[in-house]
């Protein structure tokens, strides 16, 4: 039986970006938790499939638009959540910069990392420089239009070399190139590319999640070997490795993580070389709870309720992802796009057969 508040009601929480796999993974984790939650979802897309997983939902403008905060505050006043799960990369800076103001105004917790962590994690070159400056293994990196610095990387490691957007957060515009001509051509069509040493062994690619408490100390860590399709994790295997844990924990605490953070790395001579930081809940949050690490619930208990759990026991397993469907009976694209339909939170939804798996 799930735990509720003293009056028998559920804990009200708001999850942003429920149109993406991060927000949906947070929702699935919360539904699978020990506590009972009333989940409010927001997204800028009226046809967000994630709305079907929520108890109520609202369409919002883009975070950068002038109307976002007004809409958000109206939702917070109406729904009265006690916590906000920030799940979209484009929202991180706004919520981090305004965290104290929102928390004080609405008496809630905003689960988002400090601005400094977001600044480093959202910039591939700053990520590599931070690793280097703090004595961690790092992928040698430079701006792709810095021909001298790129020549140093090629001189030390040879081709191929990896090119990726400096501030990208998907697999879009990520290239493995094998000549200077291709680097020059890509520089002409894709702005702000970072050139980086290519770590070749894709069988040793990992995604690692950490939970760091308000005191700056790590409460839990999980390492998953992963396989990708179109830049997204779709097969994972739990890896138990104390040496790997120690490196990830030390790095998370050095970085100054508060709450959750995700690291992607490959091994080089047995050492983890981090090449990407996601300073937020991960796309694999909706996988990790199956292994026994329910990050969204642990963070809620730790930061909102002040409850300390023992370090969770993880289950050895392989977890596979698959597509699923949402049915909106009687709906049309046009009807869903209408503002009044998108905001009333009362669509009747039939879920496909896997509904119980995320509860």
Give residue-wise pLDDT tens across range 273-323. 999 999 999 989 999 999 999 999 999 999 999 999 888 999 999 999 888
- Looking at the structure of the chain, the number of domains it has is 3
Rounded distance between C-alpha atoms, residue 184 and residue 236, angstroms: 36
- Asked if 237 and 208 touch (Cβ cutoff 8 Å), the reply is no
Contact 108, 82 (CB under 8 A): yes
Identify whether residues 330 and 308 lie together within a single domain.
no
What's the CA gap between 236 and 321, in Å, rounded?
9
Indicate if 206 and 309 belong to the same structural domain.
yes
| Residue 232 pLDDT class (50, 70, 90 cuts) | confident
Determine the pLDDT at residue 355.
Answer: 35
List Cα–Cα distances, 13 to 10, 49, 55, 304, in angstroms. Answer: 9, 18, 10, 11
- Strand-strand pairing, 259-268 and 205-212: antiparallel
pLDDT tens digits for 151-183?
999 999 999 999 999 986 656 788 999 999 999
What is the pairing mode between strands 141-143 and 350-351?
Answer: unpaired
CATH of the domain at 147: 3.30.1490.20
Confirm whether 40 is domain-assigned. Answer: yes
Q: Are 152 and 297 in contact (CB under 8 A)?
A: no
Measured CA to CA, the distance from residue 357 to residue 8 in angstroms comes to: 24
Question: Burial letters for 129-155: b for 16+ Cβ neighbours within 10 Å, e otherwise?
Answer: ebbeeeebbbbbbbebbeeeebeebbe
pLDDT for residue 338: 72
Q: What number is the average pLDDT over the span 215-236?
A: 90
Residue 358: pLDDT over 70: no
Residues in Cβ contact with 187 at an 8 Å cutoff, skipping those fewer than 6 apart: 144, 145, 193
Strongest mean pLDDT among 95-99, 197-201, 330-334, 344-348: 95-99
Domain assignment present for 233: yes
Distance in angstroms (rounded) separating the CA atoms of residues 324 and 355: 10
Residue 167 or 144, more confident: 144
In this predicted structure, what is the pLDDT of residue 311?
87
Its domain, for residue 36, covers: 11-112+324-358
Residue 130 lies in a domain: no
90 in the same domain as 166: no
Cα 321 to Cα 234: distance, rounded to the nearest angstrom = 5
91 and 51, same structural domain? yes
Tell me how far apart the alpha carbons of residues 168 and 67 are, in angstroms, rounded to a whole number. 25
35 has which bridge partners?
Answer: 3
pLDDT (mean) for 212-225 = 96
Please tell me the pTM assigned to this model: 0.90
Distance CA 112, CA 259 (A): 7
Which residue's entry shows tokens 């520089």? 187
Query: Looking at the structure, do residues 260 and 352 belong to the same domain, yes or no?
Result: no
3 in a structural domain:
no
Two tokens at 93? 């800076």
Q: Is residue 5 part of a domain?
A: no
Give the Cα separation of 274 and 200 in Å (integer).
14
**How big is the chain, counted in residues?**
359
Joined tokens for residue 221: 């860590």
- Does residue 103 belong to any structural domain of this protein? yes
Backbone torsion region of residue 84, taken as left when φ is above 0, otherwise alpha when ψ lies between -120 and 50, otherwise beta: beta
| Co-location of 210 and 316 in the same domain | yes
Shared-domain flag, residues 183 and 270? no
| Structural domain ending residue among the three candidates 171, 197, 223 | 197
- Residues 119-137 have a mean pLDDT of 96
- Domain presence at residue 38: yes
In a domain, 164, yes or no: yes
Closest CA to 354 of 328, 327, 325: 325
């Amino acid at each position: 039986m799930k735990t509720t508040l003293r009056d028998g009601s559920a804990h009200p929480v708001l999850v942003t970006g429920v149109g993406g796999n991060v927000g949906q993974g947070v929702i699935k984790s919360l539904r699978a938790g020990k506590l009972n939650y009333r989940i409010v979802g927001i997204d800028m897309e009226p046809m967000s499939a994630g709305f079907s997983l929520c108890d109520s939902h609202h369409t919002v403008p883009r975070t950068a638009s002038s109307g976002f905060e007004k809409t958000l505050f109206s939702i917070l006043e109406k729904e009265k959540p006690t916590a906000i799960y920030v799940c979209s990369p484009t929202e991180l800076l706004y919520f981090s910069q305004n965290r104290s103001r929102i928390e004080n105004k609405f008496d809630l917790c905003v689960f988002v990392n400090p601005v400094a962590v977001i600044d480093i994690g959202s910039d591939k070159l700053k990520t590599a420089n931070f690793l280097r400056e703090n004595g961690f293994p790092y992928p040698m990196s430079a701006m792709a239009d810095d021909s001298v610095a790129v020549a140093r990387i090629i001189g030390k490691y040879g081709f191929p070399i990896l090119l990726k957007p400096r501030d990208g957060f998907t697999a879009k515009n990520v290239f493995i190139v094998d000549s200077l001509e291709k680097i020059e051509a890509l520089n002409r069509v894709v702005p702000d590319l970072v050139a980086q040493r290519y770590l070749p062994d894709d069988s040793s690619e990992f995604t690692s999640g950490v939970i760091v408490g308000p005191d700056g100390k790590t409460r839990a860590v999980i390492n998953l070997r992963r396989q990708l399709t179109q830049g997204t994790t779709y097969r994972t295997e739990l890896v138990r490795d104390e040496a790997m844990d120690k490196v990830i924990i030390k790095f998370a605490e050095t970085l100054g993580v508060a709450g959750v953070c995700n690291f992607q790395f490959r091994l080089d001579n047995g050492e983890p070389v981090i090449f990407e930081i996601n300073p937020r809940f991960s796309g694999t949050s909706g996988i990790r709870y199956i292994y026994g690490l329910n990050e969204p619930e642990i963070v809620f208990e730790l930061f909102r309720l002040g409850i300390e759990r023992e370090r969770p026991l993880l289950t050895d397993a392989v977890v596979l992802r698959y597509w699923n469907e949402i049915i909106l009976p009687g709906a049309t694209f046009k009807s869903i796009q209408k503002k009044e339909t998108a905001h009333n939170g009362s669509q009747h939804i039939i879920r496909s057969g896997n509904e119980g798996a995320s509860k």
